[in-house]
Structure 1
Amino acid sequence: MKHIATRFFVTGAIFALIGMIWGIQMSATSDHTLAPAHGHLNLIGFVAMAVFGTFYALSPTAAGSRLAGIHYLLTTAAVLVLVPGIALAISGSGETLAKIGSVLALVSMALFAFVVFRHGVGAQPGAQPQ
């Protein structure tokens, strides 16, 4: 699992499975109190990670950069902090983790924008496939 696109896709698939199980649990118990946390798990944990993985699969120069690995770790951290943070905020246990997770998610997206601007999309002319 060395290629960064694979890391994004595998992690995104795991987050999607957790989100789906969580959604079924909410439906079975008719308790949708934590739906915002569930939604963020699916949106950032699966959709954004799949978009990022697709970009890196199509852009080998960007995928080979050190920033790609940092981006993966930052996005994973954002999901792992934000989702429980939202659940804690909803339950009245404080908003600190949700705030930290939100900042991590914002920085992750800003880093993605920087990587796209820096490397473009697709293989660069003369670039060796990885």
Structure 2
Amino acid sequence: MKGIGFAFFALGVLCALIGMAWGIQMSATANHALSPAHAHLNLIGWVTMALMGAYYTLTPAAASTRLAKIHLALTTAGVIIIVPGIVMALTQQGETAAKIGSVLTIAGMICFGVNVLRHGLGAKTAP
């Protein structure tokens, strides 16, 4: 069954592919002005989401919670909003989206932290 761990991994891979293509585009044009947004896409979108997917795959009790679903929603929304928000901030179009994305991203990490503290790590059975 494809659960929350798979969802985190799949979204992470999507972010990695977009980030790689963006990196190639920056290299080809020799324009690295948006590299902070590119870095956030890769670190939050790929690395962090893949690690979260691994955790939920290894800890099914945590994956089966409502909090895990909220976590996925917050983290996904955070990445979707923070990356263009950083682009907007870098191009002097305002910082509001970057701020909203940052709050959503940290809220997602708080959810993750609570789940880790509640469930630990390991293949315990879901309640």
Q: Which amino acid aligns with 1:71?
A: H
TM-score, normalised by the number of residues in structure 1: 0.94
CA displacement, residues 57-102 of structure 1 (integer Å, 9 cap, x when unaligned) = 0001001111111111110000000000000000000000001111
How far apart are residue 23 of structure 1 and its match? Answer: 0.3
Task: Name the structure 1 match of 2:100.
Answer: 100
Q: CA RMSD in A?
A: 1.3
Task: Name the structure 2 match of 1:122.
Answer: 122
- Looking at structure 2, the residues matched to 70 and 29 of structure 1 have their Cα atoms a distance apart, in angstroms, of 39
- Asked if structure 1 preserves the Cα contact closer than 8 Å seen for 2:61 and 2:119, the reply is yes
Aligned length: 127
Task: Name the structure 2 match of 1:43.
Answer: 43
Deviates more, 1:113-122 or 1:34-43: 113-122
Q: Which amino acid aligns with 2:99?
A: K
- Looking at structure 1, the residues matched to 126 and 31 of structure 2 have their Cα atoms a distance apart, in angstroms, of 52
- Looking at structure 2, the residues matched to 44 and 56 of structure 1 have their Cα atoms a distance apart, in angstroms, of 16
| Residue 12 in structure 1 maps to residue 45 in structure 2 | no
Task: Name the structure 2 match of 1:73.
Answer: 73
TM-score, normalised by the number of residues in structure 2: 0.96
- Looking at structure 2, the residues matched to 15 and 2 of structure 1 have their Cα atoms a distance apart, in angstroms, of 19
Give the 4+ runs in structure 1 shifted more than 2 A: none
How far apart are residue 128 of structure 1 and its match? Answer: 5.5
Structure 2 unaligned regions, length at least 5: none
Q: Which amino acid aligns with 1:64?
A: S
- Looking at structure 1, the residues matched to 92 and 118 of structure 2 have their Cα atoms a distance apart, in angstroms, of 42
- Looking at structure 2, the residues matched to 128 and 107 of structure 1 have their Cα atoms a distance apart, in angstroms, of 24
- Asked if structure 1 preserves the Cα contact closer than 8 Å seen for 2:41 and 2:79, the reply is yes
SS of residue matched to 1:99: helix
- Asked if structure 1 preserves the Cα contact closer than 8 Å seen for 2:77 and 2:104, the reply is yes
How far apart are residue 38 of structure 1 and its match? Answer: 0.2
Report percent identity of matched pairs: 57
